[in-house]
């Protein structure tokens, strides 16, 4: 099992890195977690529900005003070079623009939407959220930047506004038309809980899972297994699926698939064509599974939640066709391993992670089974939900 650096250790490392880079001690700091989506995949752009949980992997940012008109930011992550950028403080006349290195666009985007009126500062970022592993390192960097800026300037934002600002930064500066899930959960996560997000109304509901209880036999945890593969895509896979969903909604005469149901889909099967029909079936059933998952947790029906997770995987594999052999293999292994309630691929697909609901006491044995049976090298984490982003006292 992956031993994850604790938050205090990560903060200390970040403070030391800052001191080495800029020759003085940082004064303000912030943290923002990554996330795993428990259920509700490819539902966000269909106005549906998603159900993510903030995980104890964080991006940390520390820094201070530097008394100049320059902003200097450095990262320790394995990103495109240079790992330190320097630019003039923006103004209305001279706003920030995207450019190279690419990683800095996530930070600049947040800065751009946060304020045109900020004094020069230095900052350092350290993160243990794996990059591009489907645990949302990008949102954690955006949200930590925004939280850091709140700490630095004393201006504070409502959580939903902050999440939307960070999403806008990703759209406009990183050219990634992402949904709202990642930024919402990084801002609003709660310990031992997951967050139901209605992607249409942006209403949220915190649902507490009783994992992390001292009563070991009864406690559950989420096992996240990184397949460590990312299949090369042609670039058309996701736009095509989005397009199929919008086409299905149009043919059904509804605003989005959120308003569709199984009967309507079946009635129009011939008109939709097999592929669009299958995409629609996934989305409509996945939105329904999300609602059922929340009910299952509230009634502590863990077997039911596990079943829903397996069903979600099958639907993503066979109907939405975004899984891959490695993710299927990992789910298959968990299906025959004692102590697992259910599992599924999580994230966009074609690689990345699976998430499994497991008995916490059995987690080490389950991890052992995965390492023994998976044909490639997996990275395994055991998580319970954590609180969302916050400032940290240094």
Nearer to ligand ADP, 61 or 380 (CB): 61
**DSSP class of residue 24?**
S
CA distances from 346 to 69, 120, 195, 307 (A): 43, 40, 15, 15
Asked if 138 interacts with ligand ADP (CB under 6 A), we say: yes
Check 44, 47, 182, 244 and give the catalytic one.
182
Of 43, 46, 89, 136, which one interacts with ligand ADP (CB under 6 A)? Answer: 136
Nearer to Mg ion, 52 or 342 (CB): 52
Asked if 77 interacts with ligand ADP (CB under 6 A), we say: yes
Nearer to ligand ADP, 46 or 75 (CB): 75
Q: Supply φ then ψ for residue 180, to 5 degrees.
A: -100, -5
Of 75, 183, 193, 227, which one interacts with ligand ADP (CB under 6 A)? Answer: 75
Asked if 323 interacts with ligand ADP (CB under 6 A), we say: no
Q: Which helix (H) or strand (E) holds 314?
A: helix 302-318
Asked if 131 interacts with ligand ADP (CB under 6 A), we say: yes
Of 43, 46, 127, 362, which one interacts with ligand ADP (CB under 6 A)? Answer: 127
Residue with tokens 């609901």: 357
387 is catalytic: no
CA nearest neighbour of 327 among 341, 309, 343: 343
Q: Exposed, middle or buried, 217 (CB in 10 Å: 0-12/13-18/19+)?
A: exposed
Least distance (Å) from Mg ion to the CB of residue 303? 32
Q: Supply φ then ψ for residue 358, to 5 degrees.
A: -130, 160
Of 56, 133, 349, 385, which one interacts with ligand ADP (CB under 6 A)? Answer: 133
Q: Which stretch binds ligand ADP (CB under 6 A): 36-44, 63-71, 134-142, 324-332?
A: 134-142
Least distance (Å) from Mg ion to the CB of residue 131? 9
Residue with tokens 């990703």: 170
Of 82, 95, 99, 132, which one interacts with ligand ADP (CB under 6 A)? Answer: 132
Residue with tokens 């949302």: 136
Q: How far apart (Å, rounded) are the C-alpha atoms in residues 50 and 318?
A: 20
Question: Rule CB under 6 A: which of 96-125 touch ligand ADP?
Answer: 102-103, 106, 125
Nearer to Mg ion, 138 or 312 (CB): 138
Nearer to ligand ADP, 125 or 265 (CB): 125
Burial 274-313 (b: 16+ CB within 10 A, else e): eebbbbbbbbbbbbbbbbbbbebbeeebbebbbbbbbbbb
CA distances from 343 to 39, 187, 239, 289, 327 (A): 10, 25, 26, 14, 10
- Chain positions contacting ligand ADP, by CB under 6 A: 59, 75, 77, 79, 102-103, 106, 125, 127, 131-134, 136-138, 141
Q: Which residues are catalytic?
A: 182
């Amino acid at each position: 099992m992956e031993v994850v650096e604790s938050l205090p250790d990560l903060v200390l490392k970040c403070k030391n890195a800052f001191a080495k880079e800029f020759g003085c001690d940082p004064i303000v700091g912030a943290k923002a977690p990554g996330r795993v989506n428990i259920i509700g995949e490819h539902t966000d752009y269909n106005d549906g529900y998603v159900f993510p949980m903030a995980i104890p992997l964080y991006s940390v940012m520390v820094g201070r005003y530097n008394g100049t008109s320059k902003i200097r930011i450095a990262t320790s992550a394995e990103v495109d070079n240079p790992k330190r950028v320097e630019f003039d403080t923006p103004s209305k006349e001279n706003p920030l623009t995207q450019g190279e290195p690419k990683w800095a666009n996530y930070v600049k985007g947040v800065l751009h939407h946060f304020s045109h009126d900020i004094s020069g500062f230095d900052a350092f970022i350290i993160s243990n959220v794996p990059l591009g592993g489907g645990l949302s390192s990008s949102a954690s960097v955006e949200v930590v930047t925004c939280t850091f800026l709140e700490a630095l300037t004393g201006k504070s934002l409502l959580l939903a506004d902050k999440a939307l600002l960070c999403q806008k930064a990703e759209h406009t500066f990183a050219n990634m038309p992402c949904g709202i899930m990642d930024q919402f959960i990084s801002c609003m996560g709660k310990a031992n809980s997951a967050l139901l997000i209605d992607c249409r109304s942006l209403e949220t509901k915190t649902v507490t899972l009783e994992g992390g209880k001292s009563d070991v036999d009864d406690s559950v945890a989420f096992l996240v297994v990184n397949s460590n593969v990312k299949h090369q895509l042609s670039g058309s896979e996701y736009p095509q699926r989005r397009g199929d969903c919008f086409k299905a909604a149009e043919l059904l005469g509804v605003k989005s698939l959120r308003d569709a149901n199984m009967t309507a889909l079946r009635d129009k099967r011939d008109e939709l064509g097999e592929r669009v029909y299958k995409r629609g079936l996934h989305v409509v059933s996945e939105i329904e599974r999300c609602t059922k998952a929340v009910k299952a947790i509230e009634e502590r029906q863990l077997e039911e939640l596990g079943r829903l997770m397996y069903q979600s995987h099958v639907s993503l594999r066979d109907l939405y066709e975004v899984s891959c052999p490695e993710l299927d293999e990992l789910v298959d292994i968990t299906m025959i391993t004692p102590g697992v309630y259910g599992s599924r691929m999580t994230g966009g697909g074609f690689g990345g992670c699976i998430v499994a609901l497991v008995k916490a006491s059995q987690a080490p044995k389950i991890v052992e089974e995965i390492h023994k049976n998976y044909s490639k090298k997996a990275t395994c984490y055991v998580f319970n939900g954590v609180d969302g982003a916050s400032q940290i006292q240094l």
